[in-house]
Chains A and B, each alone.
Chain A
Amino acid sequence: MKTAILQMRDVTIAFGGREWPTDVVTSASLSVGAGEFHAIVGESGSGKTMLARAALGLLPPGGRVRAGSITFDGTELVGLGSRSIRALRGKKMGMVFQDPLTSLNPSMRIGAQMCEATMLHEKLSVKDAQDRAIDMLARVGIPHGARALGCYPHEFSGGMRQRIMIASTLLLKPQLLIADEPTTALDAIVQADIMDLIRDVTRDLGTAVLMISHDLGLVADRADRVSVMDAGVIVEAGPVDDILIEPRHAKTKALLAALPQGEVKPPQSAQVAPLLHVTGAHVSFAGRKPWPWAKAPHTHALRDVDITLCPGETLAIVGASGSGKTTLGRAIAGLQDLTSGRIQFGDADITHPLASRRRELAREIQIVFQDPMGSLDPRVRVGDSVAEGLRHTKTLSRADRRKKALTTLTACGLDEDFAARFPHQLSGGQRQRVGIARALIMQPKIIVLDEPVSALDVTVQAQVLDLLERLQRDHDLSYIFISHDLGVVESIANRVMVMEDGIVVEEGHAAEVFRAPQHPFTCRLLSILPELKPQGRGYRLVRRQTHLDPATRREESPCPQPTTA
């Protein structure tokens, strides 16, 4: 083992007063060798972020290291004065945060933000600092660095901003880079790119990495060592291969089990009429007019998209952000007007959201949103949120509605006593269950699931997906499942549609799309999926086949017409 650059021994982190401290990390020990890529994997609330932040002395207000020792390059950090620790921060230890949208100062130019640390610590001139920044930007894959320095953060996409963050942090060539879920908020493909970037750049610079993640699959083939955390305790640690092949702790096994297993659902075999038929769906948004009398420029979110959804089927719509998948989902749910095209539900034309027929059928198509916190009113109790959809149902009494809400909550895996809680008292997974219950109570035929699990930990993702499958069977539901990650839809989708720039680039039965992708974009999506192959008592991580196979052209018309005509 290389010399440890960061050494944590029996670190206990507490919040609250001296009298009644609450420990969020208990007796955690780990060491990161120079140049080593060390991953801490655990679910939200397991204490992994607190542990990492303690190293930089950046615990949130009220938090402190109650016991134990943290040494960095031989210096004891616990109890070190703020001036001394500031001298280490940035220069010796850098940190990259989860959300690239909030981790760059929106009111400062990139150049000023990147250069302030080098100018502070190394007393570089403006010119030198800028040259260094441009070099580093080039290394993280941003050409035209000189121009980028004059831009503000909002002029870049999320992925680009994370690259800038990394460049900014690595400018001082720190000995340790702490990365706190640096890719969680990004699209699957960008995630993989950024992960690879961190691994490659740090390897070149000889920087050690302490990577924090909830996704074992994402870090498994990039990390040297893994520490698994659960409830404030490091339950298992070791070289990554050892952990994969021989997981000992139940939590590690659970994390592994949540990874895609390479099992794909068969297509629907029933010969039935399609439930939903979208033809030529086109949505364009008018931009801002330069003058009141000028013509507004249009951006096209959807271009002539056709969809067919069969009863009981799950159709996955996969694409990067901006591909139009969410617009399509909202149009189907009646939340977005089509510029042109037609939506047919059974025999009914439901193209226009406000038409009376559409409103009658409104309850038949429900939607579940990505952000479970944002889509629940924080002042309304969960039970009332769920029952809300029934308030116009005159035939039901208040008590009936309440009873129904409770049954639905139970069906979604939440005890009846959840009904009295407020959204902030729930975990992310529980909130998403409430979101599902709110849709389910309307007894819909179709539920549009817009990134329903993207904001959740992988283990929780798996549970929610299980729930969705069970509900589909029990309630005879059809799903439109929108995601940026092919891995997520693998276990649930019957059919997959891949979108790029408002166009469907590939469509087919799940098994066929995963086995024989037809479009380069699909291949890219597939290439980043880790797959676990059982080996011994554990697993072996493998990469997917990614080559195009034009030979196996597939049939169109996924819903065969009834032959009994």
Chain B
Amino acid sequence: MLRYVILRCLASIPTMFLVAVTVFVLMRLVPGDPATLMVGDVTQVERIERLREEMGLNDPLLVQFIAWMGALLQGDFGTSFINGAPVLPTLLDRFAVTAQVVAISVLLAAVIAVPLGMIAAWRQNRSVDNVIVTTSIAAMSVPSFWIGLMLILVFGIELGWLPSVGYVSLTDDLTRGIMYLIMPVAALVMAELGTILRMSRAATIEVMRLDYITHARAKGLSEADVLRRHAFPNAFAPTLTIIGLTLGALLGGAAVIETVFTLPGLGRHLIDAISSRDYPVVQGVMLLVALSYILVNLITDLLYPLFDPRVRL
């Protein structure tokens, strides 16, 4: 187990390096110049030149890359072009917000979707199944942007129960923080529910066909016991992978929800940084996203043997 963790960590080093190189090169291939963007439509050639010099953009690419990498290895993510603030602290703040919303959402979605998926599979092709599957597909097909606005319309404006703009951190004020989280979490849960539910349903159907389920029934176990003891652990293992992937993907990409619900999250930070060509921030965010993706997948894989003892790490 420990050996496995060490190996996986070692294996992630080249991945991270590749991400670093790719992001670095791609950002510089994309047209648009950070200095020009900062100056805007005011034609100030000298100022743009001075800014480029300050940002180190006039150095050869390799020199820029080595400088960035060198600092990175010492834990220095550099400073933002736009506001000169160190990249890392902001990054971590933003990440904490996203992680909080995404983790709660995915956990909640899993807690709802996995049992529902199993019930749907258990009652395959009957009315319960049809209702569950149709509803989940409907929720999946609606863009999360739209779900978000509808929630704001209903709960923010019509009913006035929940605040529609702003954000309060859970650590600052728990109850108010929760009020601000309800709608984004609900929107994310609705958007991600379907994927997990369908996986859980498919995996359960797969498992329910196997002889050990019939055998469990032949032993005289109740249907609830059959589902809980025999179907769940086996159907959950593949679902866990999907949950991990969803979590990983959302950690770097909940920008839409963050924008609609005015959450100061990582996705929005990335979008802002890309549109202002804030290279150090974009690079930092991408590295963090890649790292969190790798970590989430590692944790998923470490959890896997709990549900499927055939998998050895």
Q: How many contacts between A and B, using CB within 8 angstroms?
A: 84
The bracket for how many chain A residues form the interface is 20 to 34
Q: Which residues of A contact B234 (CB under 8 A)?
A: 105-107
Minimum CB–CB distance from A365 to chain B (whole Å) comes to 35
User: When A86-B220, A108-B229, A117-B220 are in contact, do A95 and B215 touch as well, CB less than 8 Å?
Assistant: yes
Contact of A116 among B229, B237, B308, B310 (CB under 8 A): B229
A107 to B218, CA, bound (A): 18
Q: Which residues of A contact B225 (CB under 8 A)?
A: 116
Are A103 and B211 interface neighbours, CB within 8 A? Answer: yes
Are B211 and A106 interface neighbours, CB within 8 A? Answer: no
User: When A103-B211, A107-B309, A152-B309 are in contact, do A58 and B233 touch as well, CB less than 8 Å?
Assistant: no
Are A121 and B216 interface neighbours, CB within 8 A? Answer: no
Q: Which residues of A contact B217 (CB under 8 A)?
A: 58, 86, 89
Contact of B221 among A95, A102, A120 (CB under 8 A): A120
Q: Which residues of A contact B219 (CB under 8 A)?
A: 89-90, 94, 116-117, 120, 168
A292 to B310, CA, bound (A): 23
Q: Which residues of A contact B229 (CB under 8 A)?
A: 105, 108, 116
Contact of B218 among A94, A121, A152 (CB under 8 A): A94
Are A154 and B220 interface neighbours, CB within 8 A? Answer: no
A441 to B114, CA, bound (A): 49
Contact of A105 among B7, B216, B220 (CB under 8 A): B216
Most buried by A among B210, B233, B237: B210
Contact of B220 among A104, A120, A165 (CB under 8 A): A120
Are B215 and A107 interface neighbours, CB within 8 A? Answer: no
Residue A562 is within 8 A (CB to CB) of chain B in the complex:
no
Most buried by B among A86, A89, A105, A169: A105
Contact of B310 among A91, A117, A154, A168 (CB under 8 A): A154
Minimum CB–CB distance from A441 to chain B (whole Å) comes to 35
User: When A107-B309, A154-B309, A292-B7 are in contact, do A95 and B218 touch as well, CB less than 8 Å?
Assistant: yes
Are A103 and B215 interface neighbours, CB within 8 A? Answer: yes
Q: Which of chain B's residues 140-180 have a Cβ closer than 8 Å to chain A?
A: none
Residue of A nearest to B126 (CB): A61
A107 to B10, CA, bound (A): 30
Residue of B nearest to A100 (CB): B211
Q: Which residues of A contact B220 (CB under 8 A)?
A: 86-91, 117, 120-121
Are B3 and A291 interface neighbours, CB within 8 A? Answer: yes
Residue B52 is within 8 A (CB to CB) of chain A in the complex:
no
Residue of A nearest to B236 (CB): A107
Minimum CB–CB distance from A179 to chain B (whole Å) comes to 12
Residue B127 is within 8 A (CB to CB) of chain A in the complex:
no
Minimum CB–CB distance from B75 to chain A (whole Å) comes to 27
Residue of B nearest to A94 (CB): B218
Minimum CB–CB distance from A57 to chain B (whole Å) comes to 9
Residue B17 is within 8 A (CB to CB) of chain A in the complex:
no
A91 to B218, CA, bound (A): 9
Residue A369 is within 8 A (CB to CB) of chain B in the complex:
no
Residue of A nearest to B212 (CB): A105
A87 to B310, CA, bound (A): 32
Encode B36-73 as 1/0 by CB contact (under 8 A) with A.
00000000000000000000000000000000000000
Residue A446 is within 8 A (CB to CB) of chain B in the complex:
no
A99 to B7, CA, bound (A): 36
Residue A419 is within 8 A (CB to CB) of chain B in the complex:
no
Residue B214 is within 8 A (CB to CB) of chain A in the complex:
yes
A61 to B210, CA, bound (A): 13
Are B221 and A290 interface neighbours, CB within 8 A? Answer: no
Are B212 and A86 interface neighbours, CB within 8 A? Answer: no
Residue A546 is within 8 A (CB to CB) of chain B in the complex:
no
Q: Which residues of A contact B222 (CB under 8 A)?
A: 86
Most buried by A among B217, B219, B222, B234: B219
Are A106 and B124 interface neighbours, CB within 8 A? Answer: no
A154 to B309, CA, bound (A): 8
User: When A107-B309, A154-B309 are in contact, do A90 and B124 touch as well, CB less than 8 Å?
Assistant: no
Are B210 and A102 interface neighbours, CB within 8 A? Answer: yes
Q: Which residues of B contact A154 (CB under 8 A)?
A: 309-310
A94 to B124, CA, bound (A): 26
A470 to B217, CA, bound (A): 47
Residue of B nearest to A107 (CB): B233
Residue of A nearest to B210 (CB): A102
Minimum CB–CB distance from A288 to chain B (whole Å) comes to 9
Residue A98 is within 8 A (CB to CB) of chain B in the complex:
yes
Minimum CB–CB distance from A165 to chain B (whole Å) comes to 8
Are B218 and A61 interface neighbours, CB within 8 A? Answer: no
Residue of B nearest to A85 (CB): B220
A292 to B215, CA, bound (A): 42
Residue of A nearest to B123 (CB): A61
Most buried by A among B3, B216, B222, B308: B216
Minimum CB–CB distance from B204 to chain A (whole Å) comes to 13
Q: Which residues of B contact A108 (CB under 8 A)?
A: 229-230, 233
A102 to B136, CA, bound (A): 31
Residue of B nearest to A180 (CB): B211
Are A89 and B211 interface neighbours, CB within 8 A? Answer: no
Are A97 and B124 interface neighbours, CB within 8 A? Answer: no
Residue A56 is within 8 A (CB to CB) of chain B in the complex:
yes
Minimum CB–CB distance from A524 to chain B (whole Å) comes to 29
Q: Which of chain B's residues 245-288 have a Cβ closer than 8 Å to chain A?
A: none
A103 to B216, CA, bound (A): 9
Q: Which residues of A contact B309 (CB under 8 A)?
A: 106-107, 152, 154
Minimum CB–CB distance from B230 to chain A (whole Å) comes to 5
Are A106 and B221 interface neighbours, CB within 8 A? Answer: no
Residue of A nearest to B220 (CB): A90
Are B3 and A290 interface neighbours, CB within 8 A? Answer: yes
Residue of A nearest to B222 (CB): A86
Minimum CB–CB distance from A293 to chain B (whole Å) comes to 11
Q: Which residues of B contact A105 (CB under 8 A)?
A: 212, 216, 229-230, 233-234
A108 to B217, CA, bound (A): 15
Minimum CB–CB distance from A63 to chain B (whole Å) comes to 13
Most buried by B among A86, A88, A168: A86
Q: Which residues of B contact A117 (CB under 8 A)?
A: 219-221
A90 to B214, CA, bound (A): 11
A290 to B310, CA, bound (A): 18
Q: Which residues of A contact B221 (CB under 8 A)?
A: 86, 90, 116-117, 120
Are B310 and A103 interface neighbours, CB within 8 A? Answer: no
Residue of A nearest to B305 (CB): A107
Are A102 and B124 interface neighbours, CB within 8 A? Answer: no
Q: Which residues of B contact A165 (CB under 8 A)?
A: 215
Q: Which residues of A contact B216 (CB under 8 A)?
A: 105
A93 to B220, CA, bound (A): 9
Are A58 and B218 interface neighbours, CB within 8 A? Answer: yes
Task: Tell me the A residues contacting B by CB distance below 8 Å.
Answer: 56, 58, 61, 86-91, 93-95, 97-99, 102-108, 116-117, 120-121, 152, 154, 165, 168-169, 290-292
List the 8 closest pairs (A to B, CB-CB), nearest first: A90-B220, A103-B211, A90-B219, A117-B219, A107-B233, A89-B220, A97-B211, A95-B218
Additional A-B contact list (11), CB under 8 Å, known A105-B233, A168-B219: A89-B217, A90-B221, A91-B220, A94-B218, A94-B219, A95-B218, A97-B214, A98-B211, A116-B219, A120-B221, A152-B310
CB<8 Å pairs between A and B, sample of 10: A99-B211, A102-B210, A102-B211, A103-B212, A107-B307, A107-B309, A116-B229, A120-B219, A165-B215, A168-B219
